[in-house]
Amino acid sequence: MNALIISAVWGIVMMFSGIFTKNKSTVRSIAIAGILILIVANSLDLQGGYHINIDTKNQLDFGTFGLLFNSIAFICTLIYFLLSGKDIENVGVNVAEYFALIFFVLCGVSIATSFNTLLMLFLGIEIISIPLYILTGSNKRNLKSTEASLKYFLMGAFSTGIMLLGIAFLYGASTTGTFFIEEIGIGKSSLSPLFIVGLLLLLISMSFKVSAAPFHFWTPDVYDGAPTVFTSFMATIVKSALFIAFIRLFHNSFGEIQPKWQIFVAIIIAATLFIGNLTAVFQQSVKRMLAYSSIAQAGFMLFAILTINPVAQDGILLYATAYSLATIGIFAILVKMKDRSFEGFNGLAKHHPVLAATNTIFLLSLSGIPLTAGFFAKYYMLMAALKMGQFLWLVVFAVLCAAVSIYYYFRVIQAMYFKDGEPQELQVSSSFKILLIIVAAIIILLGIFPQLLLDKMNILYM
């Protein structure tokens, strides 16, 4: 509860900071201070110290899994602020408001990772979404940004409508008239039609939110049109948080009737992996390629929903960390580039060796090459699926798709190292480079010793 309340309050603090100071770097410092406070507050939550508490009638349940994800999300946001904070200032004039909206999103993240009723699920997802619509359209003079924001808004509101209908059906099907996620699936040995339709509607709407195929069509346009700094935030922290909400919902409510809906999730995974990877191959712009790659990565993260077991729960946290760190790093470099196509990366290694080297590590991690965190993340996901025994075909298919993904990630590496290009004047400070090296080091460290992260979780689970 500490982090939840502080993030909401800090959003308001950020709004006022925009009135009292016009100095952009002061605003950024306040935001970084806020995220540091959030990290401390969340680790207090993890140790059971509820200093600020509100009686929510058990509607929010702060379990270890959700809180651990919160700390990953907050740390990733800190890295994001440090790497891309300066670029947020370049989007427009309302810098304080952008930071405020990001804090409101984080408030939604902490609700979405610890909800205990469908009401809180709905509220958490909406509190995440509504600030994001604004952030997407924050570049007001740019028609692409406006278009992306309108598309995101209409699609988001549409999928919210579907989710609400699903919730209403589940409520009608429950015998005791409850929204608590643990009680909704109880006593469903014989499934009523209302319950089945509700479950499927929830599955569809959550697939919309995490951009799984065939409900992914808004993602490339929105990620492409939004200002690049905010795409970075949307594609990483927000997406992982929605996955945690998805898992929490399906684990607690529908875990017992898992065999009945598993096949739908398997089909969604296969479609997501296929469409995401295949379309990414044909992209000319790196930003759009990353949008499709985020769809493809979502396919891997969906394995955690297919196989609800402890391995998958460890795996999704590792995956969220590896994916978020690598993608934030790539986007931080991409924001600095003038030309966002593959050709723009030509000859980067010669002129900016540090950027090229760290970018290579991030791309290797995304494609799942051993010795990077991305390898173990994918490994845990596939392990979880193999442990179940069924769906061997899906695991084989996922490995094949990962092989396809190497092609488009390596195109960037190839452009950086093996092609000649004009020297580019990039505004890169030395602190930015040091941070990139630190992020790359964390990725390699997690790739060699994934236990560093996982053991910490297991100790806390005990």
The only residue of 61, 89, 183, 221 in contact with another protein, by rule CB under 8 A: 221
Question: Per residue in 342-372, is it b (16+ CB within 10 Å) or e — as a string?
Answer: bebbbbbbeebebbbbbbbbbbbbbbbbeeb
How many residues make up the chain in this entry?
462
CB 14 within 8 A of CB 34: yes
Is residue 183 close enough to count as binding another protein by CB under 8 A?
Answer: no
Measured CA to CA, the distance from residue 159 to residue 146 in angstroms comes to: 20
Measured CA to CA, the distance from residue 349 to residue 326 in angstroms comes to: 18
CB atoms within 10 A of CB 181: 22
Q: How far is the CB of 80 from another protein (least distance, A)?
A: 23
Q: 386, exposed or middle or buried, with CB in 10 Å at 0-12, 13-18, 19+?
A: middle
Is residue 171 close enough to count as binding another protein by CB under 8 A?
Answer: yes
Instruction: Please provide residue 11's backbone torsions phi and psi, each rounded to the nearest 5 degrees.
Output: -60, -40
Footprint of another protein on 66-95 (CB under 8 A): none
Residue 153, token pair as written in the block: 């808004």
CB 181 within 8 A of CB 249: yes
Is residue 160 close enough to count as binding another protein by CB under 8 A?
Answer: yes
The only residue of 65, 74, 115, 122 in contact with another protein, by rule CB under 8 A: 122
What is the amino acid identity at position 54? I
Is residue 140 close enough to count as binding another protein by CB under 8 A?
Answer: yes
Cβ closer to another protein: 25 or 284?
284
Alpha carbon 189 to its chain centroid, in Å, reads 34
Is residue 137 close enough to count as binding another protein by CB under 8 A?
Answer: yes
Segment lying near another protein (by CB under 8 A), choices 103-111, 175-183, 370-378, 398-406? 175-183
Binding mask 226-265 for another protein (x = CB under 8 A): ----------------------------------------
Measured CA to CA, the distance from residue 162 to residue 231 in angstroms comes to: 25
Strand partners, 117: 180
Binding mask 188-217 for another protein (x = CB under 8 A): ------x-----------------------
- The residue count for binding another protein (CB under 8 A) is 40
The only residue of 147, 192, 337, 406 in contact with another protein, by rule CB under 8 A: 147
Is residue 151 close enough to count as binding another protein by CB under 8 A?
Answer: yes
Segment lying near another protein (by CB under 8 A), choices 87-95, 145-153, 208-216, 347-355? 145-153
Q: Could you list the residues that contact another protein (CB under 8 A)?
A: 119, 122-123, 126, 130, 133-134, 137, 140, 143-144, 146-151, 153-154, 157-158, 160-162, 164-165, 167-169, 171-172, 176-179, 194, 220-221, 224-225
